[in-house]
Chains A and B, each alone.
Chain A
């Protein structure tokens, strides 16, 4: 058994005056203070520090600035799933007996690149750089191909995609650490500038800085709340999407989900909320479909009709998701687990789903090419 016993978050946003190290230290100190004890291992998650900040060796980097010189530390990367992957590694360290208490800290500092071309290049390292990126493709373009296919297959239009960001923004208003805490008007969505047709700016997660930390322990010994990690489900798909059979199905999500359910030995009905990886509106929709929250092609209706609302039958991203909480990529997975932890221990403040006990988090690297699901229950 591995438990989540402490948590610390920085607000997600544009932290012009804070460096990678400031953010990582801020979140880590908060988490360690929340837990109240020391850790014997540090696992850092990050995707882009080498590209954007010119800094690798983040294990040593973080413990050096955290005043924990000597503590074993490593960095884990799996694009957008980096944070979830760091948690998987930390659980392995604990269950194998290598460590007893592990600090998992995700950190990303994207705004040191100040132009969209550069952040686009950086994010596009998550796709096949030689055979998708080199011809001029981007991560956003791959989501656009999926969106066009989805629109064609199910006969849905641009307006149908607005329900997703509208809910995410609405949820983020109540989330203290969210980046975009304002309501989105439907007409603003419809006027949103094109990024890669048919994907617009408001279909996509923003560029974000942020750090999130959790402490994992083999005992439920956190003073402010504890959650058990019931299971992890993990699966991959081809990095290049032109080699896939379908663009409207994400089999890695299905595989990871059924594995997670089986290992946890729980029914899907017992999941109280879903914290999913919505890099784009369309992947948000497809993910809810793969998780069985909506029939194929019916996710827009789920979001339109309130089915995914915080007080609806299957709440999705009560904190606002990548779209509105923000997406400090390599830290996002840790934010997701941290948010789920706060939910199942009743500490999610304005974002709280009433009576939430069991939460699912789903983190995805690339275009659902590396999918990690956590099932978490408050104890």
Chain B
């Protein structure tokens, strides 16, 4: 059942984005996005190239999850935030190494790689970007 078991190829093909924040940049209008789309959502161009997005940004909005979906219940309470990266690209990510009550809008954060979705003791460990307050 999908909610209990992470599909391996479904995670594997997203590894460039999940490990390295690989997104896309429209070569015609300059819009940057994650994940990379084949068609630019802003101008419709088909000319979108992969680009590694900046790994620092700030929190623009957040929520603290107390009722988690299956597979995430061990981690509550955790924070889901909309992050604006240094180049203006936005994405949704989990925050880590932070007390939910310490999270503020505008908080500077950096990308780290963490366990995100683990399929029991025998299944895949899906790692992915999370963001945490800047250490230095």
Give the interface of A toward B (CB within 8 A): 51, 115-118, 120-122, 124, 128, 130-138, 140-141, 144-145, 148-149, 152, 193-199, 238, 240-243, 247
Contacts and interface: CB of A to CB of B under 8 A. Distances in A.
A136 B67 contact: no
27 contacts: A118-B3, A118-B70, A120-B67, A121-B3, A124-B69, A130-B10, A136-B75, A136-B80, A136-B94, A138-B65, A144-B63, A145-B61, A145-B63, A145-B82, A148-B61, A148-B63, A193-B66, A194-B64, A194-B66, A196-B63, A196-B80, A197-B64, A198-B63, A199-B63, A241-B92, A242-B91, A242-B92
Interface residues on B, range: 35 or more
A177 B77 CA distance: 36
Contacts of A116: 67
Given A145-B61, A148-B61, A240-B92, A121 B70 contact: yes
A241 B68 CA distance: 19
Interface of B: 2-3, 10, 14, 33-35, 41, 61-73, 75, 78, 80, 82, 90-94, 100, 105, 116-117, 126, 128-130
Contact of B92 (A137, A197, A247): A137
| A contact patch SS | helix
A340 to B, nearest CB: 32
B132 to A, nearest CB: 13
Contacts of A137: 65, 80, 92
B33 A243 contact: yes
A31 B63 CA distance: 43
B66 A145 contact: no
- 5 nearest A-B pairs in the assembled complex, by CB-CB distance: A144-B63, A197-B64, A121-B69, A121-B3, A194-B66
A326 to B, nearest CB: 19
Contacts of B2: 51
Given A131-B35, A243-B90, A117 B70 contact: yes
B9 to A, nearest CB: 12
B63 A117 contact: no
Given A145-B82, A238-B41, A136 B72 contact: yes
Contacts of B67: 116-117, 120, 138, 140, 194-196
A135 B69 contact: no
B61 A135 contact: no
A292 to B, nearest CB: 26
Contacts of A130: 10, 14, 35
B3 A243 contact: no
A194 B68 CA distance: 11
Contacts of A141: 63, 65, 80
A141 B64 CA distance: 8
Nearest to A143: B63
Most buried by A among B66, B75, B78: B66
Contacts of A198: 63
B68 A117 contact: yes
Contacts of B33: 243
A135 B116 contact: yes
A124 B82 CA distance: 17
